Structure 1
Amino acid sequence: MMTKILTRGFAVSLMAGTALVASAPALAQDDAGQSTFAENEIVVTAQKREERLQDVPISITVVNPEQLAAFGMNEATDLQYVVPGLTLINASSTRNSGFFVRGIGTSSFSSESIEGSTAFVVDGVVLGQSGASFADLPDIERIEVLRGPQGTLFGKNASAGVVNVTTRDPGDEFEGKISGSWAWPNDDRRLAAYIGGPIADGVGFTISGRINKRDGYVKNLADDRVFNGRDEWGVRGKLKVEPTDGLTVVLAGDYYKRDAACCIWTLRDISGTPSASEGLSLIAGIEPGRDNLEQNINGELFTRNSIYGASLAADYELGDYTLTSITAWRGYRNTDNNDADSAPINILDVNSARFRQRQFTQELRLASPVGGTIDYVVGLFYFDGKVFSRSVQRFPTLPFPFFNKQVDNRARTRNAAIFGQANIHVTEDFRLIAGGRLLHEKAEASKDRLDFALNLTSTAAAEKKDTAVVWRGGLQYDFSDDIMAFATITRGYKGGGYDTNIGLATLPDVKPEKPTNIELGLRTAFPDAGLIFNLTAFHTKVAGYQASARDAGPPPITRILNGEAKTKGIEADFAWRPAAGADWSIYGSATYTDGAWGDFANAPCYSGQTAAQGCVGEAQDLTGARLPWSSKFSGNIATNFTQPLGGDLKLVFDLGLNYRSSQFIAFPNDPRALQKGFALLNASVALAGGDAWRVSLFGKNLTDKRYSIVDFTTPLGSPGSYSQFIPYEAQRVVGLSAEFGF
């Protein structure tokens, strides 16, 4: 099977980050048997301990902050433009958002109970809500994107992969930086400051703050407002204390606030006779299409997010062993209103929600020394997450039951687990990989609905428990210090829950998601040629895949369905320094993904689908059909070149190209929701004075390519009509940035 995958479709290239170096020296050990690393090696924590990237038997892309800053990127949403195979769904609200990896992912308005499939982890703390990850990326040391199920070591909501973010710790020297940028066409302004260093013997700190503002780019014809802007600020701080030899304690806290006139969609096309709201849009002069950046509404539009938390991490050296404890408390709040009728009259002006999530996590793990016959990581994990939401919808012209309603949803998830993973060194070059996780999860949900127009009520409540075993096994062989191959098989798990959509009176059960993933990998380094080249083949089958499908309505409802998904393909990445003695690197990555539905004979029909088009009894058979949000080919290639000008002066050039082939950007599969492939060209040129200052001119999407993130059936539109969410980056952006350090 895997041989067939390897020969099926190969896309050469690309990405790892400018931090990937020309050579990959061998991992060394100190006298205590602990790992040490060469100065420029990439070190990752994908297996809960520091390891050289080239030694880790996982498909990983590493992104460093310099790469993002070169092209004026600083948000989690920007990762989709530098990591092939990573797709983002983010439209009208962060509540309905999520990362997709290899075509697998979950985004749903029923996020009270249903989590995303891709875990977002910051400094070892997993975020229980996908929406809590959609902030900027301050003080980043590195970002590791792990593809494939990672439940053995990461546990919670990691059935598709993990975005593992590591922020900067306090250093041994006092340092600081202030940076700012401005970009056209929407007056994008950003200001950030950072300071850190020692404040006493064994005590250090970091503190940072940032402000980001941007005008909207969607014009509202009804009253000349502009929508989909950006207005946010945040702070982050760390205090690092080393009270005794062998003990390190880090106290961290962060707060992020967003308040913007966001987020609205635009009409993409109108099928058949326009509905009342669509007719008003046409009269106002809106021209539906991929270039449409106009709306025509009279109601309020706002999104207010707060993301905050604190953690206490401690590492204690017990001889050659390391005991780690991470205790964290986090919160996420979202308040929004979206005038969903796409009309300048009050059909559904009030479509609001207040969403609150709180979580407590505790992880305790023990890492053995490396260098013996067996090295391992074992641990305990506990998660307790509570969610409350209150949603209000008012249809003043439609006096039908529960069209005018207030819905309170409550959900709680508790997860406890014991986990471990070991490397068994059969010989110096050959080792076995064995890991497992035993978890117990309890899910609870309740719903109270009130129809305040007709004085009707309904309630529902449910709870369930589940015990599961997640495991990983594999082989790893070192052909030399610079060439390694591995084969692994992994069974993942993402807990089930309940469909809490406000349009449903009941709480339909959603089954757990269980992926099985097979990988073959090759990691190579050629120091004399200044080249690193890595290759991974994968085959994944997901039983109980939690898919989110939108009914046409009225009113439109997004439901959660358990289907079966299959995805297979090849991933490649490289980094190359082609000229010895020159500060020039070329790097990139690419992914070929063949994603398809498995056994899915009862999939919902798309809006306007007829029996002749396969809709029989309100269902269609999608078995073998293409997965949405899954491009067959996606890739990045970039280059960085530095030209010394004498003294500390230097010119720095960056050029990057991101490509993704066609993909369905709606579900259920509708041929009209197939977006064509496109490429994004980014570039920057900078003048720098060593590490003291830097001034740059950057451009994103220089060819001014228009595209959408998601298509969906237009609320209150005619059958078969579609709206779209166009991101800010779907236009040419040119800006200036400057930073000064000390």
Structure 2
Amino acid sequence: MSYQPVKSLLGVAIATVVAGGAQAQHLQLEEVVVTAQKRVESLQDVPISVSAISGQKMEDASITNLESLTTYIPNFSMNQGTIANNITIRGVSSGVNPGFEQSTGMYVDGIYYGRSQLSRLPLFDMERVEVLRGPQPILFGKNSIAGAVNMTTASPGEEFEGQISALYEFEEEQQDYRAVFSGPLTDTLSGRIAMLYRDQEGSFTNFNSSHNEKQEEETVIRGSLRWMPTDLLTMDLKYEHAEFDDVGRNVELAQSIVREDLAGTGAGVDYVTALNNFVGLVNNTLMLEPPVDFAGEDGELNRVRGSNGDYHNNTADVLVLDIDYAFGEYTLTSTTGYLEYDFEQNCDCDFTGASILNAGQDESFEQFSQELRITSPGNETVDYIAGVFYQTNELDFRDSINVPDNSLLRLLNPNFRNISSRRFAQQESDMWAVFAQATWNVSDRLRLVFGARYTEEDKEATKQQVHYGGNTAFPATDPTGTLPNVYFGLNPLFGAFAVEPYDTIRSDRQEEAFTPLFTVQYDLGEDAMVYATYTEGFKAGGFDIRSNGHPDPSVVNACNLDTSTNPPACADDIVGVFDFDEEEAESIEVGAKVGLGGVAELNMAAFYTEYTNLQTSQFDGILGFNVTNAGKAEIQGLELDGRWLVAEGLTLSGAVAWLDFEYTDFKNNQCYFGQQVLEPGSVQPDGVTCDATGKRKEYTPEYSGTLSADYVISFGNNLELRTVLDLVFSDDYLFTPTLDPRNKQDAYTKWNLRVALSDVAGNWELAFIGKNLSDEDVVTFGGDAPLAGALTGGTGTAYYQFLDRPRTFALQALYRF
């Protein structure tokens, strides 16, 4: 699609606001308040590219998690994958490896949520969510090299209030029930309790199941207390328990193809055809027992799939104690947090309806953090925030590749049934940091901001890979390679899948980083300011948990054995990854925030960032993932957002982003299927990796944005009708880290509509909500189908693709008291 009409419309709107602002002086936009700099400030005073979404907007738009929030924030996305999740800001993300912390720091009530699994937590009863783009190395310093998501839940109030709401969505049969009660318990103590229950059936048909997918069920309860024994002391205690489970997935096989140089020659076969023929051969010719139960794949992107037992179960508990103590004009703040979660999943990771293999995974995580900071009084010659931060965590990770008893892989070897390869990993981390940020108010108009953070982190980890027959573990080859692990023929088979058994390996890392920030901010007038910022970001290195091979090439425990030699030698060794290095960034941002007569605001930010050693996760083409540091990348772009109170009851708002991403040095990217044919010059001497220098990363649309119109009219004696229309658009983008040009999401435009009837006092409300009214099919994640190359002899493949939700319609009822 062309974005020229959008750009023209934006230009006309800006010109109209400038010309007409003086005619509506009696109108006034409501101020947006944020805590992006650990102070309560107007959004228009903060020299950062920030998008803020209020809790009310999230409730109105039925935003229940970060993934649905991304619709309203350009240059920001959250994508759920097969084994992990990914938050992306300005094209920068961490990839899908459980060893990663996110490049975008996620903070809830001041507590760092670094694990990707926590990005799936349900969101409700929020005060606001702020998305800070670009490196945030000082006040949100824990690995926030791409940006930060700062979330604040609602706190107890001094007056009794409550709210009950219910929503029913017709397409996916979603039910959403919420209740909030808040108010004083004594003269000095207030409390709040918030509860959520949500479930839905999903929009995918699974021909191996009687239910649609993916089914979701979420239960969250949050209790909070606020104690104010004096005017000088405030203590907030919050506890949250969340359970959020899925059955099935919103993924299917699509784009089943033959390699381009073989198309029409009869020498190649696509994956779906090969799979269907293979299953037919197994059932009709070999008469295996038990037979392979398989209805066949169609290879079309049509929300029809086959799967066997996908599920995803999560439990999380969070406890936060926040203490503010005022002494003189200064404030001392203590934020203590304890967080733990457990999750387990089963992934039918061949993504077909046939019984081939599945992947199990479970993870336990505990984290404790403590931050102390002092905040000076505002409006002084020098204002500052300084503090110390400590965090410790433990991760226990287990996963397995399982071949069930009725797997069709029995055709390859009758022993390939009821076997598995299991991985066990543990990681511990301790880090501390000291930070400070000071604003020198040079004059009434000029401010200079200086900030710095020094961080030290110690990590240690262990990992082990073990092959099993049933529940019997078989030892790995010893480090000398003199005892090949060939029990029951398991080794050659798992070796063909590039899975190598090995005894426990250990490693540790010690890293330190100094990250500075410098900002110049100048007021052009009472309602306009400009700023320029230079900053450096840092993201610690770590350990690859998902790699399927030993990192030492001299340790050869599993491969295709060359039996012509005595003792047998490995013809094709497997080399994995364990350690990966830290990631660094340097960024320059210039921007302006302009108020126009109190009725409009326009904010602009232009940025240029250089990243080195980007941490990326590369699928090995079979069953595993290897972490690699991606050399260098340059990112530049422009972000615009604004609001305009056109008339009483009518507000227009919008945000538009332009993004340019280029790998300037990335010679070790994983090759995509057929790249040796389509781009032979990019293939590296190892024949496995390809040069991606000069290419764009996945999830980097050139243009993206949202436009919204909010119109409220009163009628009758006590009624109000509010209509909100949202337009969401994106340019095309790739959605796989291999940068396969076949895996491109086309440009799209979505429309969302909410029409609500309420009383003027806002005590009750009935609303109709329509999302994705244009019914766009948007792929949010994807990759190569495992085993496709093996089954087609390398001549064909197919891709698994995750789809966003289709067009949906919902009714919502709300009562406040």
Calculate the TM-score normalised by the size of structure 2: 0.83
Take 1:567 and 1:74, find their aligned partners in 2: how far apart are those partners? 30
Take 1:625 and 1:12, find their aligned partners in 2: how far apart are those partners? 31
Q: Who is 1:706 aligned against?
A: 777
The structure with higher relative contact order (CA 8 Å, sep 6+) is 1
Take 1:243 and 1:302, find their aligned partners in 2: how far apart are those partners? 47
Matched position secondary structure for 2:658: strand
1:562-601 matches, within 5 Å, as 562-579=630-647, 582-601=648-667
Q: Who is 2:436 aligned against?
A: 420
Residues 1:284 and 2:295 aligned together = yes
How far apart are residue 721 of structure 1 and its match? 2.7
Q: Who is 1:28 aligned against?
A: none
1:495-534 matches, within 5 Å, as 495-506=540-551, 507-527=577-597, 530-534=599-603
Take 1:462 and 1:402, find their aligned partners in 2: how far apart are those partners? 32
Residues 1:549 and 2:549 aligned together = no
Q: Who is 1:404 aligned against?
A: 420
Task: In structure 2, give the amino acid aligned to 1:732.
Answer: R
Task: In structure 1, give the amino acid aligned to 2:247.
Answer: A
Residues 1:70 and 2:138 aligned together = no
Residues 1:723 and 2:807 aligned together = no
- Seen in structure 2, the aligned counterparts of structure 1 residues 103 and 344 have a Cα distance that, compared at 3 Å, is closer
Take 1:252 and 1:590, find their aligned partners in 2: how far apart are those partners? 36
Take 2:728 and 2:305, find their aligned partners in 1: how far apart are those partners? 29
Take 1:573 and 1:461, find their aligned partners in 2: how far apart are those partners? 48
CA-based RMSD: 2.4
- Seen in structure 2, the aligned counterparts of structure 1 residues 225 and 735 have a Cα distance that, compared at 3 Å, is closer
Matched position secondary structure for 2:57: helix
How far apart are residue 345 of structure 1 and its match? 4.1
Q: Who is 2:33 aligned against?
A: 43
CA contact (8 A) 2:618 2:627 kept: yes
- Seen in structure 2, the aligned counterparts of structure 1 residues 223 and 90 have a Cα distance that, compared at 3 Å, is closer
Task: In structure 1, give the amino acid aligned to 2:197.
Answer: I
CA contact (8 A) 2:143 2:539 kept: yes
Take 2:526 and 2:300, find their aligned partners in 1: how far apart are those partners? 54
Take 1:510 and 1:310, find their aligned partners in 2: how far apart are those partners? 32
Q: Who is 1:662 aligned against?
A: 732
CA contact (8 A) 2:139 2:435 kept: yes
- Seen in structure 2, the aligned counterparts of structure 1 residues 502 and 391 have a Cα distance that, compared at 3 Å, is farther
Residues 1:741 and 2:731 aligned together = no
CA contact (8 A) 1:565 1:627 kept: no
Q: Who is 1:603 aligned against?
A: 669
Task: In structure 1, give the amino acid aligned to 2:712.
Answer: T
Task: In structure 1, give the amino acid aligned to 2:614.
Answer: Y
Matched position secondary structure for 2:185: strand
Take 1:12 and 1:623, find their aligned partners in 2: how far apart are those partners? 36
How far apart are residue 475 of structure 1 and its match? 0.5
Take 2:416 and 2:612, find their aligned partners in 1: how far apart are those partners? 38
CA contact (8 A) 1:11 1:572 kept: no
Residues 1:321 and 2:392 aligned together = no
Deviations 1:588-646 (A, max 9, x none): 10100001112112222112321551323222221111111111100000011110113
Q: Who is 2:567 aligned against?
A: none
Matched position secondary structure for 1:334: strand
Matched position secondary structure for 2:742: helix
Between stretches 712-721 and 429-438, larger displacement belongs to 712-721
Take 1:11 and 1:81, find their aligned partners in 2: how far apart are those partners? 22
Equivalent residue pairs, number: 702
Take 1:303 and 1:11, find their aligned partners in 2: how far apart are those partners? 45
Percentage identity across paired residues of the two chains:
29
Q: Who is 1:732 aligned against?
A: 807
Task: In structure 2, give the amino acid aligned to 1:384.
Answer: T
1:333-732 matches, within 5 Å, as 333-349=342-358, 351-395=359-403, 397=410, 404-453=420-469, 455-457=474-476, 458=502, 459-506=504-551, 507-527=577-597, 530-553=599-622, 555-579=623-647, 582-610=648-676, 612-613=678-679, 614-616=682-684, 617-689=687-759, 690-718=761-789, 719=794, 721-729=797-805, 731-732=806-807
1:147-226 matches, within 5 Å, as 147-226=133-212
Calculate the TM-score normalised by the size of structure 1: 0.91
Residues 1:293 and 2:283 aligned together = no
How far apart are residue 91 of structure 1 and its match? 2.3
Deviations 1:179-214 (A, max 9, x none): 010012111100000000111111101101110010
Q: Name the structure with the higher helix share.
A: 2
Deviations 1:320-368 (A, max 9, x none): 101000000001211000122234443204x111111110010100000
Take 1:266 and 1:618, find their aligned partners in 2: how far apart are those partners? 27
Between stretches 502-511 and 490-499, larger displacement belongs to 502-511
1:268-283 matches, within 5 Å, as 268-272=254-258, 273-275=269-271, 277=275, 279=277
Take 2:279 and 2:233, find their aligned partners in 1: how far apart are those partners? 64
How far apart are residue 117 of structure 1 and its match? 0.4
Matched position secondary structure for 1:610: helix
Take 1:136 and 1:181, find their aligned partners in 2: how far apart are those partners? 15
CA contact (8 A) 1:195 1:206 kept: yes
How far apart are residue 223 of structure 1 and its match? 4.1
Task: In structure 2, give the amino acid aligned to 1:608.
Answer: G
Larger radius of gyration: 2
- Seen in structure 2, the aligned counterparts of structure 1 residues 281 and 134 have a Cα distance that, compared at 3 Å, is farther
Q: Who is 2:128 aligned against?
A: 142
Take 1:540 and 1:159, find their aligned partners in 2: how far apart are those partners? 11
Take 2:179 and 2:154, find their aligned partners in 1: how far apart are those partners? 14
Which among 87, 100, 103 is matched to residue 77 of structure 2? Answer: 87
Task: In structure 2, give the amino acid aligned to 1:326.
Answer: T
